[in-house]
């Protein structure tokens, strides 16, 4: 199975693995020996879809050599009826095509293909399951000490550039007692990092619980673990939520708050429902409460109505909000969204120039901000062997409670453990330190 896209897709992937395990399948050592090949796809940008088309196209020879291999393309990309049709027309050798919301049907589809040798297309885009059939699926976790827990599915925000509300449907919040029980069980099982997932976790709403109450109750669970969440929408993020994070025992001191743009008119055109001033207010409040916290963001460059002069406001937001790191994306028109119908006068070259400027500005701000960790002792959850970006032996890499990548040396294997590291050097994407 290959998973593309966001954390939610990776979480879906763990469920798919559970479904397959229940059906008696185990992971194949390599693609040439797989009986079933699954691509779990992303629709957020065209580039992601092109990659999947390329990867699936390359499987034609596999199907020619081993006709019995079942190929399935599932997820957000194939939840769009036009894309599902294009997949079917371009690659008739694909056996199963289904959308994100039809994943519970995968065992039945596999049976149909195995028993009748027919192909199955089930987009499922219009009929989102309102019951908890999806969440009841068995999960096979990728990692023994890190786990993600979806708290809600779908999105109601309809940001004008985004396809997610169309492919994942309306917001559905999971029952709080199920989430609390799941986190409790994960912690009891030795999990050290729990990531709560939702397209807009701030609009979590179920059985008299809002997100703040859910987070507070999860924070009361005993044990040595960190609690993280994504994604938080600035329109619904509040000072109260930041207070909860600051006072918490387990919640990470990192806020991922996608700004998308720093210009008020562009934000309005994006249907984001907050202003630059409000974003700055939240950023400053968070920093005031937690000086060492990290603030990360998503920026969309080249939205159709964005001009070079509007973009200057995005550039200055990076400095004014003191953003530690930004995930930057070039706008990609998505069929069915409002933005895709807008005139888009800026050229590719102009948009690329804005993108490059943003990377340079972010690098300068990060370099200066990361320097504040020099000499600080950070608690780090050790993630992997090898220094980030070099993989040199003897090094380990982990993340601090602020979500900062920390590289350090160790003679003993400490993967999956909390350690303390004093920071001796800082870069613009990571810090380096000495294990205490």
Closest CA to 229 of 252, 213, 249: 252
Q: Is residue 10 close enough to count as binding ligand 5AD by CB under 6 A? A: no
Q: Least separation, in Å, of the C-beta of 271 and ligand SF4?
A: 8
Pick the closer one to ligand SF4 by CB: 60 or 273: 273
Asked if residues 423 and 375 have their Cβ atoms less than 8 Å apart, the reply is yes
The least CB distance from residue 282 to ligand SF4, in Å, is 16
Query: Residues 433, 399: contact at Cβ < 8 Å?
Result: no
Binding-site size for ligand SF4 (CB under 6 A) equals 10
> Applying CB under 6 A, does 162 fall inside the site for ligand 5AD?
yes
Q: Tell the smallest beta-carbon distance from residue 16 to ligand SF4 (Å).
A: 21
* Residues 207-236 close enough to bind ligand SF4 by CB under 6 A: 233
Any contact of residue 354 with ligand 5AD (CB under 6 A)?
no
> Per CB under 6 A, which region of 98-106, 109-117, 121-129, 330-338 contacts ligand 5AD?
330-338
If one asks whether residue 155 binds ligand SF4 (CB under 6 A), the answer comes out as: yes
The contact pattern for ligand 5AD, residues 250-269, with x = CB under 6 A and - = no contact, is: --------x-x---------
Distance, CA of 193 to CA of 198 (rounded, Å): 16
Q: How far is CA 162 from the centre of its chain?
A: 15
Minimum distance between the CB of residue 298 and ligand 5AD, rounded to whole angstroms? 3
Compute the least distance from the CB of residue 44 to ligand 5AD, in Å.
Answer: 5
- Residue carrying the six token digits 């000086």: 291
Rounded CA separation 352/326 (Å): 16
User: Residue 346: helix, strand or coil by DSSP?
Assistant: coil
Cis peptide bond N-terminal to 231, omega within 30: yes
Question: 200 touches which of ligand 5AD, ligand SF4, none (CB within 5 to 8 A by kind)?
Answer: ligand SF4
DSSP bridge partners of 408: 396, 433
Q: By the criterion CB under 6 A, which residues form the site for ligand 5AD?
A: 44-45, 161-162, 258, 260, 298, 300, 329, 331-332, 334
Contacting positions for ligand SF4 (CB under 6 A): 155, 157-159, 162, 164-165, 199-200, 233
């Amino acid at each position: 199975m290959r998973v593309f896209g966001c954390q939610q897709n990776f979480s879906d992937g763990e469920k798919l693995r559970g479904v397959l395990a229940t059906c008696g399948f185990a992971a194949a050592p390599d693609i040439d020996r797989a009986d079933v090949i699954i691509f779990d796809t992303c629709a957020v940008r065209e580039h992601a879809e092109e990659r999947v088309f390329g990867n699936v196209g390359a499987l034609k020879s596999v199907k020619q050599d081993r006709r019995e291999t079942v190929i399935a393309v599932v997820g957000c990309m194939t939840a769009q009826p036009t894309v599902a049709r294009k997949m079917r027309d371009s690659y008739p050798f694909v056996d199963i095509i289904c959308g994100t919301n039809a994943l519970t049907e995968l065992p039945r589809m596999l049976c149909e293909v195995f028993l009748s040798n027919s192909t199955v297309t089930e987009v499922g885009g219009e009929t989102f399951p309102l019951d908890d059939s999806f969440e009841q699926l068995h999960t096979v976790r990728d990692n023994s000490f890190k786990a993600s827990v979806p708290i809600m599915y779908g999105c109601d925000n309809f940001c004008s550039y985004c396809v997610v509300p169309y492919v994942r449907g309306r917001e559905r919040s999971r029952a709080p007692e199920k989430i609390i029980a799941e986190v409790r069980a994960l912690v009891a099982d030795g999990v050290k990092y729990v990531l709560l997932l939702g397209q807009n976790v701030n609009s979590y709403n179920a059985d008299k619980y809002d997100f703040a109450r859910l987070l507070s109750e999860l924070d009361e669970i005993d044990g040595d673990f960190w609690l993280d969440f994504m994604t938080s929408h600035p329109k619904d993020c509040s000072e109260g939520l930041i207070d909860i994070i600051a006072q918490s025992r387990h919640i990470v001191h990192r806020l991922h708050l996608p700004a998308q743009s720093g210009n008020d008119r562009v934000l309005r055109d994006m249907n984001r429902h907050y202003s630059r001033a409000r974003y700055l207010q939240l950023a400053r409040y968070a920093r005031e409460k937690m000086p060492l916290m990290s603030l990360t963001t998503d920026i969309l460059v080249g939205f159709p109505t964005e001009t070079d002069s509007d973009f200057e406001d995005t550039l200055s937001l990076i400095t004014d909000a003191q953003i530690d790191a930004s995930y930057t994306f070039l706008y990609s028109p998505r069929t069915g969204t409002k933005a895709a119908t807008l005139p888009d006068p800026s050229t590719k070259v102009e948009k690329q120039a804005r993108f490059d400027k943003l990377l340079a500005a972010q690098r300068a701000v990060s370099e200066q901000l990361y320097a504040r960790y020099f000499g600080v002792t950070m608690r780090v959850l050790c993630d992997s062997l090898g220094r980030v970006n070099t993989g040199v032996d003897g090094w380990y890499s982990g993340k601090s409670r602020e979500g900062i990548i920390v590289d350090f040396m160790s003679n003993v294997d400490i993967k999956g453990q909390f350690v303390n590291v004093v920071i001796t050097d800082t870069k613009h994407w990571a810090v380096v330190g000495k294990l205490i």
